């Protein structure tokens, strides 16, 4: 982002986890369900027996993710009303360019 002239605000998500409400807003900006922001292949998720197709509401997933922020897919870049996952990095470059045009 800095290469494109944008100074990012870096959020230490493990020190200050986003609230369930923030996670729901971010998911909407990403255009995914909250479960789409969870790293389901991580050991903890597997140990807890959670699966992406579990029938939970976005509120339930967001509450769970707020309590387990280490399982948040990252990085996530948010600009205004849009957001992208930062992998691959080209997603972020496209977001910055789109927002600046």
Do the Cβ atoms of 23 and 37 come closer than 8 Å? yes
The string of pLDDT tens digits covering residues 14-65 is: 999 999 999 999 999 999 999 999 999 999 999 988 998 899 999 999 999 9
88 occurs within a structural domain: no
CA distance 13 to 10: 9
Name the nearest CA neighbour of 63 among 34, 92, 26: 34
96 occurs within a structural domain: no
Q: How many domains does the chain have?
A: 1
pTM for the full predicted model: 0.90
81 occurs within a structural domain: no
For 51, the token pair is 């699966």
- A 10 A CB-CB count for 4 gives 12
The CATH number that applies at residue 24 is: 3.40.30.10
Could you tell me the residue range of the domain that residue 30 belongs to? Answer: 2-74
The string of pLDDT tens digits covering residues 69-93 is: 999 999 999 999 999 999 999 999 9
66 occurs within a structural domain: yes
């Amino acid at each position: 982002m800095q290469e494109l002239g944008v100074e990012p605000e870096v959020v230490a998500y493990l020190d200050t986890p986003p609230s369930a409400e923030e996670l729901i807003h971010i998911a909407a900006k990403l255009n995914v369900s909250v479960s789409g922001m969870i790293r389901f292949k991580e050991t903890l998720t597997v140990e807890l027996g959670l699966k992406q197709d579990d029938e939970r509401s976005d509120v339930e997933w967001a509450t769970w993710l707020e309590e387990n922020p280490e399982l948040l897919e990252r990085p996530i870049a948010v600009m205004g009303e849009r957001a992208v996952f930062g992998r691959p990095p080209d997603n972020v470059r496209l977001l910055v360019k789109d927002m600046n045009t």
